[in-house]
Structure 1
Amino acid sequence: MADKKSSSKLGGIVSAVVGAIVVAAFVLYQAGIIDLGLEDGAAGPDGGAPSPGGGASVEQARTMLDELRVEAEDDPPGYDRAVFPHWSSQDGCDTRQTVLERSGENVEMNEDCRAVSGSWYSAYDGETFTDQQDLDIDHMVPLKEGWRSGAHAWTTEKREEFANDLESSPQLWAVSASTNRSKSDSDPADWMPPLESAHCEYAAAWIEVKHVWDLSVDPDEEAALRGVLDGC
């Protein structure tokens, strides 16, 4: 009987300690002191694959925006997409196919490292596609916009890294071809995704890319981004 009482008492102590740890961890998470990874890999609005955003929160985006240089765009001659070599090989697959593989659901790749089936959620318009030909890989900060914001002074090697950035910033998005082509090289002062619920994530991702790559924002662009964040 004594052994049973000791065991029960010990179990109660262990449960209390575990409960206290859980509560303490949640309090620290809410305070932003630790990251429990609760948002990592969050699904898209349709329950599909996560978007490449989800890095910077709105508050973090505000802080990063405060740190960006605000200046008129500099658009010297010499821009060509070829000065930003893109869709480079990534461990045997090119960047486009790598983005398709990571962004879709149930994606199957053939022996040539091409996505032959799967489904993809386009965060810009809320549409889901099952044919990769309906998708473009959008540069969150377009290459021409990067050029105007400081990339004209970079080496070709750095511009290639920017054009194929899979890890350091949310630069590459698999989206509907129609929205990507509608966007063209516009900044948020001139274009935002047609899906209004995507605006906060889009603005935060745009700011994060510019911050990571130390690119400037022009006054109209900065005002548009602040306007979006104020509504988030």
Structure 2
Amino acid sequence: MRNTRWSRLVAALSTTAVLVLGAGCSETGLPVLDPTTTAGASAPAEPGSVADPTPASVTRARTALDGLTVKSIPGKDSSYERDAFGDSWSDAATGVQFARNGCDTRNDILRRDAVPGTIRTKNGTSGCKVTAGTWVSQYDGARYTNKSKIQIDHIVPLARAWASGAKRWSAARRLAFANDPDNLLAVDGSSNQSKSDKGPSAWRPPKAYQCGYAVRYIGAVSKYQLPITKSDKSALTSMLDGCRT
């Protein structure tokens, strides 16, 4: 009987190990998640698209928002440097779609967020470098076919993350954050420049896109256990209240 119980225990542990390895773990201590199924944002309707939030994802965002630490965060921290988050757009994106695929994160996100079927790359459809495509910016709703008009936004800006506590993270954790698909979105350059390093209380996209922005922002700060300010929490609550669910 003892041997039988031991065999069952080993089998159960083996199954658990397979599940954990399937999800993946990085040296940052954060789970390596498939970016299409994270708690913060809803799964895209089809590969390569960024879907609007579902009622379930909005509910999860409300719960996560209630659990966030609220504290004062400096508007600017003079010690911040972009290099503290590692090389820009290294091949550090995680998740089933991106992990160790040999492509830099910028091109990964350009491919993910493009209108399905519109992407062209340097080597046909399988290469890393995206040369053309069509994007609908989640910050202004406009359709773009000129890649030079598209920028990759850190939904939670790096400078704001730094001031919120990322300055005390390991270099590996900061690199993971800077290249995390859950915190990245292909948007129009004009909106990205306007947003800059601002948080939700200082910048919002047009009303039609505030729900998605709020859900993604909450998902990112919750995943990395970053605090938010009282005014940011108020702004995020207001945006969630405007979700059409």
- Counterpart selection for 1:115 from 122, 130, 149: 130
Aligned equivalents of 2:78, 2:141: Cα separation in 1: 37
- Out of 174, 189, 201, the residue aligned to residue 177 of structure 1 is 189
Residue equivalent to 2:82: 81
Please list, as runs of the form range in 1=range in 2, the aligned pairs for 1:52-131 lying within 5 A after superposition: 54=53, 57-74=57-74, 76-85=77-86, 86-89=88-91, 91-105=101-115, 106-111=118-123, 113-131=128-146
Q: What's the secondary structure of 2:119's corresponding residue?
A: strand
Counterpart of 1:93 in structure 2: which amino acid? C
Confirm or deny: 8 A CA contact 1:101 1:109 kept in the other structure. Answer: no
What do the CA deviations read for 1:156-192 (whole angstroms, capped 9, x no partner)?
A: 11100000002xxx21100000000000000010100
SS of match in other structure, 1:200? helix
Mapping of 1:179-198 within 5 angstroms?
Answer: 179-194=191-206, 196-198=207-209
Question: Which one-letter code corresponds to 1:114 in the other structure?
Answer: K
Ranges in structure 2 where 5+ consecutive residues have no aligned partner: 1-36, 92-99
1:40: Cα distance to partner? 3.8
The one of 150, 155, 160 equivalent to 2:175 is 160
Q: Which residue pairs with 2:14 in the alignment? A: none
2:153 corresponds, among 138, 147, 159, to 138
Structure 1 residues 142 and 130: alpha-carbon distance in aligned structure 2, compared to 1, 3 A threshold: same
Pick closer, same or farther for the CA change 1:154–1:40 going to 2, 3 Å: closer
- Aligned with residue 202 of structure 1, among 199, 204, 213: 213
Q: TM-score, with normalisation over the residues of structure 2?
A: 0.70
What's 1:25 paired with? none
Checking the alignment, whether the CA contact within 8 Å between 2:153 and 2:186 is kept in structure 1 is yes
1:54 Cα deviation (Å)? 3.9
Cα distance change of structure 1 residues 79 and 125 upon mapping to structure 2, 3 Å threshold: same
1:80-99 CA distances to partner (integer Å, 9 max, x unpaired)? 01101230125221110111
- Separation (CA, whole Å) in 1 of partners of 2:170 and 2:53: 29
Give 1 or 2 for the bigger CA radius of gyration: 1
Equivalent pairs counted in the alignment come to 187
The structure 1 segments of at least 4 consecutive aligned residues displaced by more than 3 Å after TM superposition are 52-56, 74-77
- 2:44 is equivalent to residue 41 of structure 1: yes
Q: Is the 8 A contact 1:118 1:130 kept in 2?
A: yes
| Unpaired segments ≥5 residues, structure 1 | 1-34
> What amino acid is aligned across from residue 70 of structure 1 in structure 2?
V
- Structure 1 residue 140: Cα displacement: 0.5
Identity of aligned residues (%): 38
Secondary structure (helix, strand or coil) at the match of 1:63 reads helix
Distance 2:134 2:106 in 1: 15
**Whole-Å separation in 1 of the counterparts to 2:43 and 2:232:** 29
Cα distance in 2 between the residues matched to 1:133 and 1:77? 30
Measure the CA separation in 1 of the matches of 2:51 and 2:84: 25
**Alpha-carbon shift at residue 67 of structure 1 (Å):** 0.8
Distance 1:162 1:231, change over 3 A: same
Give the alignment's TM-score, normalised by structure 1: 0.74
The CA RMSD over aligned residues, in Å, is 2.2
Q: Bigger CA drift: 53-62 or 68-77?
A: 53-62
* SS of residue matched to 1:174: strand
More strand by share: 1
